[in-house]
A and B are shown apart, each in its own frame.
Chain A
Amino acid sequence: MTAGGMRIGLDHAGFTYQGGTPAAFDALRDITLTVEPGERVAITGPVGSGKSTLLSLLAGVELPVSGQVSHDGREISEKKPATPGVVGLAFQSPERCLFGKTVFDDVGFAPRHQGLAEPDVALRVEEALSTAGLDPLCFAKRSPFSLSTGEQRRAALAGLLAMRPRALLLDEPTVSLDPPGRRDIMNKLVRLNQETGVTMVVTGHDMDELALFAERVIIIDGGRLAVDGQAAAILTDSDLLAAHQLAPPGTVELCRLLGDATGEPVTPTLDEGQVVGLLLDFIERGGD
């Protein structure tokens, strides 16, 4: 679907809202990071820490007030903006951006504006809807406004996929979805990433969900890059997460509770199967 994922870099990037006014505040300060082609990165942190702003900078939608942003090594500036259609950015609640008379028109909007012939647009729409989990036969002709929240969220995602972007940046893509829907979206994103190599950056607060998705986790706190490392190491570190107002995945919390209750340290794990084995061990030892 894509010509490989995009590398996105930030070099000492900072961003200020309402700059030059008494209400100015620094949303991000001195952020340096590189998202490698095909990586799956989760950005998390407390409310108001700068996660959404960071996504806008990575997309090249906002330009940093200090430092630089680059796409595949090319610096993005007002004179040389990001190439349209290469990065797909979904804001929070992207269903608000739906506008087409039909789901087909909405999802086909970007490919039509990329100059594709109508049969190719139809192919793109069909492919994007299927990938997002909406059956094209059932949904293409419906009004997007008659869909449920979960279906609208998928239609909005399909609208991005139809552009065949080389990077997908999604701001809290699972908010307001029911638990099976959240799990399904995360699993679909992982599969898409594995099949196409598209670079993905997702924000969120729910570590159980991010554990399904992320290879790498970045924690932003107070506008600064606080933590950047392997997902498995960060998501199993309850103390580190708590220091940034975050709660560990359920399995990790259970290991911590077990350790506290028995006085024996229990190595935290993200694997529910392993936790069941661990609990069985405790039950058998208790029965002796």
Chain B
Amino acid sequence: MISLRNVTYRYPHAAESEAPALSGISLDIAEGEFVGLVGANGSGKSTLARMLNGLLVPDEGEVVIDGLATAQSANMDRIRESVGMVFQDPESQIVATSIEDDIAFGPENLGLPAEEIERRIDAACDRFGLQELRRSEPHWLSGGQKQRVVLAGVTALKPRALVLDEPTSMLDPVSQRQFRAFIEELWRGGATVVYITQLMDELVSVPRLMSLAAGRVVFDGPPSEFFSNPALIAETGLEPPLAVRLATALAERRRSLPSGLTDSAQNRPATLTLPDLVDGVLGR
């Protein structure tokens, strides 16, 4: 569904001496895939996200969505109907003077009938706990509430693909879990998802993980391979999840460990989550 070939991009204000934000990236994301995208600050994640629905167009190479090149401005309406986007900063994507008008903005622009728009607003408000606030002005809301409004607005569009750039960074842990469950539900319903986060624990169970460093893809595979490889994590400028740190510390302190804790063939920790670590320690 999404295809990048040799994509290189440099921001217009960047100095000549600075490396490009993205450098020779080629990748394919099939319809219905769930891809986690991880990397340190400045690695190019948000730039890559903006390539995926044509907000940025590569200097070199090409991005093709459903057979439509983003470089052709005539393709843009169709591309943006297919790929919904949530940015890091909710402030930058709230446009209306009430929450329900903001959620309605996208569906109205798709030309949907009034009853359908109303149905979608209602469902989105229910889903994101916004019913009581739906007539409020968005600028009075907290950061986390604004993040919910943006999520409600994008999901009301029912796009086929969702690109989510740190969508839960301002949410409390319970709201984070609820949101993540909702995105998985959309994915199981057939949506393609690209999920960017700095919360490593959110990524240990994604089917496919990509890691960026200095504008290049340095890893593309199952998260278990990435998170159990301290050298690779360090190259990306990140930290292993707690379960991996603890399993590594155990391996340093004790020669033989219960079999569930280590991948002896690869000589690396085999537990990525705390429940798995507990099971491994107790030999279950």
Residues of A within 8 A of B (CB): 17-18, 23, 25, 45-49, 51-52, 92-93, 96, 143, 145-146, 148-151, 171-172, 175-183, 205, 208, 245-247, 250-251, 253-254, 257-258, 261-262, 272, 275-276, 279-280, 282-283, 286
Contacts and interface: CB of A to CB of B under 8 A. Distances in A.
A18 B139 CA distance: 11
B143 A92 contact: yes
Interface string B21-40: 00000000000000000011
Interface residues of B, number: 55
A47 B175 contact: yes
A262 B13 contact: no
Contacts of A275: 246
Contact of A23 (B136, B169, B170): B136
Nearest to A51: B142
B230 interface: no
B239 A176 contact: no
Interface string B245-284: 1100110011001100000000000000011011101111
Contact of A245 (B13, B174, B279): B174
Given A93-B89, A149-B42, A245 B282 contact: no
Interface of B: 11, 13-15, 18, 39-42, 46, 88-89, 91, 135-137, 140-145, 147-148, 166, 169-175, 198, 200, 237-239, 242, 245-246, 249-250, 253-254, 257-258, 274-275, 277-279, 281-284
Given A282-B282, A283-B257, A47 B41 contact: no
Nearest to B143: A92
User: Interface centre among B46, B136, B171, B282, by most A CB within 10 Å?
Assistant: B282
A49 B170 CA distance: 12
Given A18-B140, A25-B136, A279-B281, 4 more contacts: A23-B135, A151-B41, A151-B42, A251-B242
Contacts of B18: 146
Contact of B274 (A17, A51, A143, A250): A250
B181 to A, nearest CB: 15
A183 B107 CA distance: 41
Contact of B41 (A25, A177, A246, A280): A177
Contacts of A48: 141-142, 144-145
A286 B281 contact: yes
A23 B171 CA distance: 23
Nearest to A152: B41
